[in-house]
Amino acid sequence: MSHIDPLSDILERITTLYRNEVRLVGVEHGLHPVHLEVLYYLSRCNKFSDTPAAVTEFLGVTKGTTSQSITLLASKGFLTKEKDPVDRRVTHLVLTEKGEEVAKSAIPPTVLKNGLEQLGEGQHALKEQLETLLRSMQKATNSASFGLCKTCKFHQPIADGQFFCELTKETLDAAGGELICREHTLD
């Protein structure tokens, strides 16, 4: 047996436990895991990535699943839909305070947070190894990276904690650099 099989088994068990814990939180709010994933994604993405198309791409689900999820989340008061002021064809999904609260409480599950805390200093090495694995899998599947703005090749720091995005040609605040972006590019 190769050493890859035990790693696959461990990753599979972790993801199963993760999904089960997320599902339990969803039950408390009358939501399915995909709904919590939408909320969590929207709580972490920037203004270029808060559209239904970006949600679909990030989660790897169908447009129908995304549409139904957005409709349900809006009807329950977890998010609102707002037209882009410049391009009225674009709809931005904006979390309400209720949506923000649920996103932060549901994902990552407490059991994962506690488990990671037990790693202590080992968290950093694990993060780097998992990022390498993730990037390899994204490259192999031609998937978008959806990385943090501050790690993108288009991110250019400027004065006063702001940065300039070479792709969108916009100046953004430092907090925006901590958000994930659909347009993220490493090379």
User: What structural domains does the chain harbor?
Assistant: 4-119 (1.10.10.10)
Rounded Cα gap, residues 70 and 124, in angstroms: 35
Burial of 185 (0-12, 13-18, 19+ CB in 10 A): middle
* pLDDT of 116 over the 90 cut: no
Q: What is the pLDDT of residue 150?
A: 77
- pLDDT, tens only, 59-85: 989 999 999 999 999 999 999 999 988
Asked if 181 contacts 152 with a C-beta cutoff of 8 angstroms, the reply is yes
Share of the chain above pLDDT 70, in %: 97
Q: What is the pLDDT of residue 93?
A: 95
Q: What is the pLDDT of residue 186?
A: 74
Asked if 19 contacts 9 with a C-beta cutoff of 8 angstroms, the reply is no
